[in-house]
Amino acid sequence: MEYRKLGNTELELSAITYGAFAIGGNMWGGNEKKDSIDSIHASIDNGVTTIDTAPFYGFGLSEEMIGEALQSQNRSKVQLLTKFGLVWDGSNKGKGDFFFDADDNEKKLPVYKFASKENIIKEVEESLKRLKTDYIDLLQIHWPDSTTPIQETMEAMDLLIKQGKIRAAGVCNYDVSQLKEAQKTISLASNQVSYSMLNRKIEADLIPLTVAENIGIIAYSPMERGLLTGKYFTDTKLKENDHRNGYFGQFDLQQVKTLIEELSSLAHAKEVNLAQLVLRWTTLQKGITIVLAGARNAEQAISNAKAMDFDLTALELDFINQAISKIK
């Protein structure tokens, strides 16, 4: 495993980071608790020291399972990244930006983006309790909230740093203008954004800014929620309540299938699987600090960690980039 310094902080994070969205179950067709906890332990055993989660993942379940899994681990050797700002329990009293209706056991729960100072402090206390810890290594706003001034949100995180409850502050899904506004109040550690072979939009303007400002980039959905593993072009079927039934529709699936076929030849030659090849390519892109990879069982977790056990030559990277360039 390779460990990388996050932005201007002292945090050293594993290049492959455990992404804990799927183990929450909601939007992913459910979960198996034992498999989820086993996947966390397997990740740590294979050098993955960083775990990224959020209260919204499973409406607290993801954080709770992580807290349980880490009771047998050395907390100082693990970096916990979590978020705030998605409210589903009505505690925001209708304030914030309406985001979408989430499914919870066939019930619709309205989710709001809400990042007021009061709400941040409340959410952090709840996360600390679920995670069974007294500090969070990196706290991130989950999505921008247009109803709360960015300055107020950043001041709240600065206060939490001074109180010792968080070690660093980050954002998620911020564009260039939002990032610049936030930087007026606090020195940000990172911006967590969607990035993959099929989605490279941040290379145009966001990456140049974060490189210049020494802000880390945490890449999520590098495998486009499993699409780039290739298994959904075979016999793998999604459950009816899995959000990917709609998510995959944004892509030209025939072009993606062609890309996968081309990349599979290189993966075979290097004796790695397609997911590992995709993850390794992502870790080598300019400005990318760490890459999130979800795992629902120990086998997937070990496979993700081993993506750092090989390298890609300049010729191999050129081959991959040429294949990607054919996607329109």
pLDDT value, residue 29: 47
CATH number at residue 37: 3.20.20.100
Strand 166-172 versus strand 190-194 pairing type: parallel
Identity (one letter) of the amino acid at 72? S
Which phi and psi (to 5°) does residue 155 adopt? -65, -35
This prediction has a pTM of 0.92
pLDDT of the residue at 107: 77
pLDDT in the model for residue 109: 86
Segment 248-251 long-range contacts (CB within 8 Å, at least 24 positions apart): 248/224, 251/198, 251/224, 251/227
Domain that holds residue 185: 3-324
pLDDT in tens, the chain (328 residues): 999 999 999 999 999 999 998 886 554 445 578 888 999 999 999 999 999 999 999 899 999 999 999 998 889 999 999 999 999 888 888 899 999 888 766 678 899 999 999 999 999 999 999 999 999 999 999 999 999 999 999 999 999 999 999 999 999 999 999 999 999 999 999 999 999 998 999 999 999 999 999 999 999 999 887 788 877 766 656 555 566 656 766 677 778 888 889 999 999 999 999 999 999 999 999 999 999 999 989 999 999 999 999 999 999 999 999 999 888 7
Q: Which phi and psi angles does 44 have, rounded to 5°?
A: -60, -40
DSSP structure class, residue 243? T
C-beta neighbour count of 257 within 10 angstroms = 15
| Beta-carbon contacts of residue 275 (< 8 Å; ≥ 6 apart) | 223, 228, 229, 293, 303, 304, 307
* Sign, CA torsion 114/185/156/51: positive
Active-site residue set: 57
Domain count, the chain: 1
